[in-house]
Amino acid sequence: MATKKHKPVRKSFLIFGSPRIEKAEIREVVATLRSGWLSTGPKVVKFEEMFKKYIGAEYAMALNSCTAGLHLAMLVSGLGHGDEIITTPLTFAATANVITHIGARPVFVDIDKHTMNIDPNLIEEKITKRTKAIVPVHFAGRPCDMDAIMSIAKKHRLLVISDAAHAIEAEYKGQKVGSFGDMSVFSFYVTKNVCTGEGGMVTTNNKDWAEKVQMYGLHGMSKGAWHRYSDEGFKHYQVVFPGYKYNMMDIQASLGIHQLKRVGNYLKIREKIWKKYDRAFQELPLIVPAPVEKDTVHARHLYTPLLDIDATDISRDAFQQGLHIENIGTGIHFVALHLHPYYANTFGLKRGDFPNAEFVSDRTISLPLSAKLTEADTDDVICAVKKVIERIFE
């Protein structure tokens, strides 16, 4: 714990995941406010067009969150009550929550400790007659082994819906991860590589599903607000599904259309920070993220070293608190889902069920990795990590 004499590395707190917002976004938001078209309108349509071209999908539907996208992707593809859906326990709760929302059962498969992604070698043993889909999560921006996953899905006639919340820029063997499988879902949350504050996108090549996602996302109406009130003339709507209020606003899209233009440049900045961290932490009791696999592009969303808790004899949580005292913000990605009370109690799960996910869960810490970071910021992160570890061994 800090004493009265303690002098932190930084005077001001370094916020974890603070986005880089530039003048173009601010001007666009102001123009949107002045236009009077604040909710779903022409800028959402523009953002969707830009995104589907970037990903290489035929359709892209913007929503108010990745969670909404996952929910609707499962709903429109026919998944529902009694179905089993395979995914990883090392993910954010939303991945599994939406499975329960549609009345299905999440079936967890342990990760590959090296990649931190779902281990394809363990998937088939979890497949039953109730299994209907696989939801791979491209953890931290590293593409899953899509060849293996798609082969298993084809063999067992399973849907593949990718949780690509971390993986906008990610590529697997020259192909964007958002163009694999049946649907992919992305996040534009405040910490993500493309930021709209809140927001998400579903990509697919299935026209029927695309139209249903769009309708379900706005109350189940046959025509959205943009189509009803545009200068093409008023059109009456019909409610064809019991939909949801999941639509993205033009205010959000105003950020996205400029963020997406810079996605490649921002990736280069994060790659530079990533390599700087790797070099700085080589001699420390930290396990740095594994090298990027050949023929893949890592989206570099999260930098997640693992604390060697056996060598340091302290917990990850104590290490995180030490960095907080030094005014360095961090994250935990993630506490494995089967260790959370709801999933443990509801599905009879316990520690020991997924040892690789637990290994990562107990040791992981996410350090600041944003295109907004300056050289001084990253120097402070490195200095703080070294300082906390030195204090451990005093």
The per-residue pLDDT for 84 is: 99
Domains of the chain: 23-261 (3.40.640.10), 263-392 (3.90.1150.10)
pLDDT at 89 over 90: yes
Average pLDDT (60-84) is 98
Between vectors from CA 71 to CA 146 and to CA 115, what angle results, nearest 5°? 30
Task: Share the mean pLDDT of the chain.
Answer: 95
Active site residue 386: no
pLDDT at 225 over 80: no
**Confidence class for position 253, pLDDT limits 50, 70, 90:** very high
pLDDT at 228 over 60: no
pLDDT at 90 over 90: yes
Give the position of tokens 């300082």: 387
Token digits of residue 320: 């995180």
**Confidence class for position 237, pLDDT limits 50, 70, 90:** confident
The per-residue pLDDT for 236 is: 76
Amino acid at 174: G
Average pLDDT (53-73) is 98
Average pLDDT (387-391) is 95
pTM: 0.96
Query: pLDDT tens for residues 116-162?
Result: 999 999 999 999 999 999 999 999 999 999 999 999 999 999 999 99
Which of the following is catalytic: 53, 192, 223, 387? 192
**Confidence class for position 235, pLDDT limits 50, 70, 90:** low
The per-residue pLDDT for 1 is: 46
Q: In what order do the strands lie in the sheet with 171-172?
A: 175-176, 171-172, 296-297
Query: pLDDT tens for residues 272-303?
Result: 999 999 999 999 999 999 999 999 999 999 99
Which 3-state string (H, E, C) describes 131-177? EEEEECECHHHCCCCHHHHHHHHHHHCCEEEEECCCCCCCEECCEEH
**Confidence class for position 393, pLDDT limits 50, 70, 90:** confident
The per-residue pLDDT for 313 is: 87
Rounded to whole angstroms, the Cα distance separating 111 from 139 reads 10
Q: 10 forms bridges with which residues in the sheet?
A: none
Average pLDDT (224-230) is 55
